[in-house]
Amino acid sequence: MPHVSDSAGELAKVLPDSAARPTRSRRRPAPETFDPRRGPAGLDVAADNAGEAKTAIAGSGAANGVAVLRAALKSVPERPGVYRMLDRKGDAVYVGKARNLKSRVQNYTHLAGLSTRLRRMVSETAALEIVVTATEAEALLLECNMIKRLLPRFNVLLRDDKSFPLIHITADHEFPQLAKHRGARSGAGVYFGPFASAGAVNRTLITLQKAFLLRSCSDSVFANRTRPCLLFQIKRCSAPCVGRISGCDYAALIDEAKGFLSGRRADVQARLARDMEAASAALDFEAAALLRDRIRALSMVQGHQDIYTPGVDDADVIVAHQAGGHTCIQVFFFRGAQNWGNRAYFPSHDRQLAVEEVLTSFVGQFYDNRPKPPCVLLSHRLVEQELVEEALSLGGRKVTLAVPQRGNKRKLIDRIAAAAREALGRRLAESSTQRQLLDGVAAAFGLPAPLTRIEVYDNSHIQGANAVGAMIVAGPEGLVKNQYRKFTIRGARLSTGEGAAAPERQALGGDDYAMMREVLLRRFARAIKEDPDRTGGAWPDLVLIDGGRGQLGAAQGVLDELGIGDVPLVGIAKGFDRNAGRERFFVPGRPSFSLEPRDPVLYFLQRLRDEAHRFAIGTYRARHAKSLGRSPLDEIAGIGARRKQALLHHFGSARTVARAGLAEIERVPGISKTVAKKVYDHFHAGG
Q: Which CA distances in Å does 341 have to 17, 212, 305, 344, 661?
A: 56, 22, 9, 11, 65
- Where in the chain is CATH 1.10.150.20? 632-684
Q: What is this structure's pTM?
A: 0.63
**Whole-angstrom distance, CA of residue 300 vs CA of residue 672:** 68
Q: What is the rounded distance in angstroms from the CA atom of residue 591 to the CA atom of residue 572?
A: 13
pLDDT for res 59: 36
Instruction: Quote the pLDDT of residue 557.
Output: 92
User: What pLDDT, on a 0 to 100 scale, did the predictor assign at position 281?
Assistant: 83
Rounded Cα distance, 536 and 336, in Å: 48
Residues 6+ apart with CB under 8 A from 148: 158, 161, 365, 368
Question: How many Å apart are CA 630 and CA 605, to the nearest integer?
Answer: 38
The pLDDT, as a whole number, for residue 679 is 86
- CATH 1.10.150.20 applies to domain 632-684: yes
Residue 486: what pLDDT?
A: 86
Q: Where in the chain is the domain with CATH 3.30.420.340?
A: 454-620
**How many angstroms separate the CA atoms of 364 and 370, rounded?**
11
* CATH class for the region spanning 40-150: alpha beta
Integer Rg of the chain from CA = 31
> Is CATH 3.30.420.10 the classification given to domain 315-425?
yes
Alpha carbon 489 to chain centroid, angstroms: 25
What pLDDT shows up at residue 624?
57
At a CB cut-off of 8 Å and minimum separation 6, what does 648 contact? 631, 633, 654, 657
What secondary structure does DSSP assign to 282-323, as a single string? TT-HHHHHHHHHHHHHHHHHHHT--S--TT--SEEEEEEEEE
Mean pLDDT by 10 residues, the chain (687 residues): 35 34 35 35 33 38 86 90 91 93 92 88 91 92 91 87 83 90 84 80 82 88 89 89 90 86 74 80 80 72 57 87 89 83 88 91 89 91 92 88 91 91 84 87 90 90 67 90 85 41 40 86 90 83 90 91 91 68 85 85 88 81 60 76 82 80 86 87 70
Question: Measured between alpha carbons, how far is 579 from 391 in angstroms, rounded to an integer?
Answer: 58
Architecture of domain 454-620: 2-Layer Sandwich (3.30)
Peptide bond into 450 cis (omega under 30): yes
* CA 352/CA 355 separation, integer angstroms: 9
State the span(s) of the chain assigned CATH 3.30.420.10: 315-425
CA separation for the pair 354, 542 (Å, rounded): 36
Portions of the chain given CATH number 3.40.1440.10: 40-150
